[in-house]
Amino acid sequence: TGSSDPYCIVKIDDEAIIRTATVWKTLSPFWGEEYEVHLQPSFHSISIYVMDEDALSRDDVIGKVCITRDMLAEHPKGYSGWVSLSEVDPDEEVQGEIHLRVEVQGSPGGRQLLCCTVLEAR
C-alpha cells in the first residue's frame, strides 16, 4: 500500500525494555513518547528496532540502529543527527533512517544519565 504501521522496540544488551505505540499508515512516524530507564554501568549497547505491525502475520523488522558504549565515548558532548537503519536480516534490503539525539548528563565521577531521544523517522 506504500505505507507502514511502524513502532519501535528498544533493547539494552538484547533485553527488550520499551515498546512504543504503533503509528498507523505512515512512512514518517512521530511518537512523542518519553521513557526513563536506568542503565547498568556495565551496559554494552542500546538497540532501537523499527518494526512494521502486521495484524495477519508476524510483524516485520524494518531495520535497527545500535548505540554502543564506544559511540558515546566518541561523542562526550552528545550526538544529534540522522542515523541510517541497518539490516537485521542479511537477506532483506533496508531503507530508512532515524533522527537521534543522544547525550550523557552528569559528572563522570558521579551519577550519570543517558538521554536518548528518537525525534523522528523516515
Which tens digit of pLDDT belongs to each residue from 74-98? 988 889 999 999 988 877 788 888 8
Asked if residue 45 belongs to a domain, the reply is yes
pLDDT at 6 over 90: yes
C-alpha cell recorded at residue 86: 541497518
Domain total for the chain? 1
At 10-41, the pLDDT tens digits run 999 999 999 999 999 998 888 888 888 877 77
Asked if residue 20 belongs to a domain, the reply is yes
Asked if residue 68 belongs to a domain, the reply is yes
Asked if residue 1 belongs to a domain, the reply is no
Asked whether 37 and 12 are in contact (CB, 8 A), the reply is yes
Domain that holds residue 15: 6-121
Asked if residue 89 belongs to a domain, the reply is yes
- The confidence score (pLDDT) of residue 26 equals 92
Say if residue 51 is exposed, middle or buried (CB neighbours under 10 Å; 0-12, 13-18, 19+): buried
pLDDT at 51 over 90: yes
CATH of the domain at 33: 2.60.40.150
Q: What is the mean pLDDT of residues 102-115?
A: 78
